[in-house]
Amino acid sequence: ALRGRGLDVHLFQRSGHVLQPFGEAVADRVEPELTAQGVTVHTATPVEALCGDDRIEAISYDGGRQPVDLAVVGVGITPNTGVVADTDIELGAGGAIATDKFGQTSRPDVYAAGDCATAHHTVTGEDTWMPLGLTANRGGRAIGSTVAGNPEPVGDIAGTAVVKAFDLECGRVGLIDDEAAREAGFEPVRKTITAESRSGYYPGGAETDVTLVADRETGRLLGGAIVGADRAAVRINTLATALNEEMGVAEVERLDLAYAPPFSPVWDPILVAAKVLRGSIQ
Ligand SMILES: Cc1cc2nc3c(=O)[nH]c(=O)nc-3n(C[C@H](O)[C@H](O)[C@H](O)COP(=O)(O)OP(=O)(O)OC[C@H]3O[C@@H](n4cnc5c(N)ncnc54)[C@H](O)[C@@H]3O)c2cc1C
């Protein structure tokens, strides 16, 4: 939006890549896209201070100072649990209100859902805190049903997320970080492939990168990420469904995904990625 208005945009990122939750393979596509669109990307560059008296005039960072007229700050969020601060209701992952699979807190007549509450991770089976819109809506509905006498679980969360960087669409789900996968007791193996989004002869296709991560010992799919300019993001929902069913990579490879030239090649990019990953696990 800012580039569209002709502003000179600088993006400062503390970590080595943008979009860290989406993994390096996605960042490797997004960073050049941002640069090509006129954004100056400063990775591994923590901002030290916002400078100015009456209004912001510059930001300072290690070894530099960038004059600015406007700063948009996005440095993460924490759960707002103030409403239970003076109670004995227990907190859990990420400092959010600890809940069970029905959204019940440690006090039986109090339920919590959404950004203030923990959720159950689809892959690790552990409590986690991932503040996302569907989780909040789904939790609210389920709790309404439960307290009205029809117990309904709030559902697990796999961290399914999509984002757009100019014309590039990105998606991520599950465990795509090796360290997180090891912490959860898995031995992660990963593969990234590049495939066409449509049949090669059909106009409008684009290169789509799919990363899949699986457990070496069991072959279970742990997570995935996707990036591309042609309707790439929603393809992540296939992987979200596979994770929910605890599928192995071989099962993903055998999924009956739709093929017709305007929408997908015969082998959907996700099937190609599963085939390649399975080959490296065997
Ligand atoms: C800019 C932005 C973009 C986002 N985009 C996406 C997206 O694309 N996809 C996605 O999945 N998620 C997205 N999210 C996250 C998503 O919006 C949240 O996960 C979701 O709104 C959480 O719902 P909630 O009901 O838990 O909290 P909220 O929507 O924050 O609602 C909480 C409400 O409680 C009120 N409140 C707080 N304290 C009290 C109190 N003591 N008494 C009474 N009321 C109180 C607040 O005023 C607020 O109205 C985005 C968030 C932001 C900020």
Domain count for the chain, please give it.
3
Which ligand 1 atom minimizes the distance to the CA of 131? 19
Residue 72 domain-assigned?
no
Domain shared by 93 and 134, yes or no = yes
Q: In whole angstroms, give the CA distance from residue 258 to residue 230.
A: 16
Examine the domain organization and report whether 166 and 135 are in the same domain. no
What is the per-residue pLDDT for 40?
97
What's the Cα-to-Cα distance from 156 to each of 119, 121, 236, 252, rounded to whole Å? 7, 6, 16, 20
Q: Is 121 a domain residue?
A: yes
Tell me the pLDDT band of 282, cut-offs 50, 70 and 90.
confident
State the ipTM, two decimals. 0.96
- With a cut of 90, say whether residue 250 has pLDDT above it: yes
**165/143 same-domain check:** no
Q: How do residues 149-197 score in pLDDT, each as one tens digit? A: 999 999 999 999 999 999 999 999 999 999 999 999 999 999 999 999 9
Residues 188 and 223 in one domain: yes
75 falls within a domain: no
Does the CB atom of residue 159 touch ligand 1 within 6 A?
A: no
168 shares a domain with 131: no
Q: In this structure, are 140 and 215 located in the same domain? A: no
In this prediction, residue 134 has a pLDDT band, given cuts at 50, 70 and 90, of very high
Tokens of 109: 């007549």
Domain harbouring 143, CATH code: 3.50.50.60
Residue 275 forms part of a structural domain: yes
* Cα of 23 from ligand 1 centre, angstroms: 25
Residues 105 and 190 in one domain: no
> How far is 39 from 9, CA to CA, in rounded Å?
5
Residues 182 and 265 in one domain: yes
For residue 139, what pLDDT is reported?
Answer: 98
CB neighbour list of residue 128: distance below 8 Å, 6 or more residues apart: 93, 94, 118, 119, 120, 121, 157, 159
Pocket lining: 132 vs ligand 1, CB cutoff 6 Å = yes
Q: Are residues 230 and 170 in the same domain?
A: yes
Share of the chain above pLDDT 70, in %: 100
Q: Collapsing DSSP states into helix, strand and coil, what is residue 23? A: coil
Domain membership of residue 14 (yes or no) is yes
Do 86 and 128 have their domain in common? yes
pLDDT band at 112 (very low <50, low <70, confident <90, very high): very high
What residues make up the domain containing 13?
Answer: 3-67
How far does residue 1's CA lie from ligand 1's centre (Å)? 22
Report which of 153, 174, 160 is spatially closest to residue 100, judged by C-alpha positions.
153
For residues 196 and 273, membership in a common domain is answered with yes
101 vs 133, 151, 269, CA distance in Å?
18, 10, 34
Q: Does the beta carbon of 163 sit less than 6 angstroms from any atom of ligand 1? A: no
* Residue 53 dihedral angles phi and psi, to the nearest 5°: -95, -80
Q: Considering only CA atoms, which of 154, 149, 151 is closest in space to residue 112? A: 154
Tokens of 73: 């700050």
What does the pLDDT look like over 26-55, one tens digit per residue?
999 999 999 999 999 999 999 999 999 999
Q: 63 and 111 share a domain?
A: no
Residues 45 and 57: beta-carbon distance below 8 Å: no
Residue 213 lies in a domain: yes
Domain contains 156: no
CA of 132 to the centre of ligand 1 (A): 8
* Cβ burial 170-194 (10 Å sphere, 16+ → b, else e): bbbbbbbbbebbeebebebbbbbbe
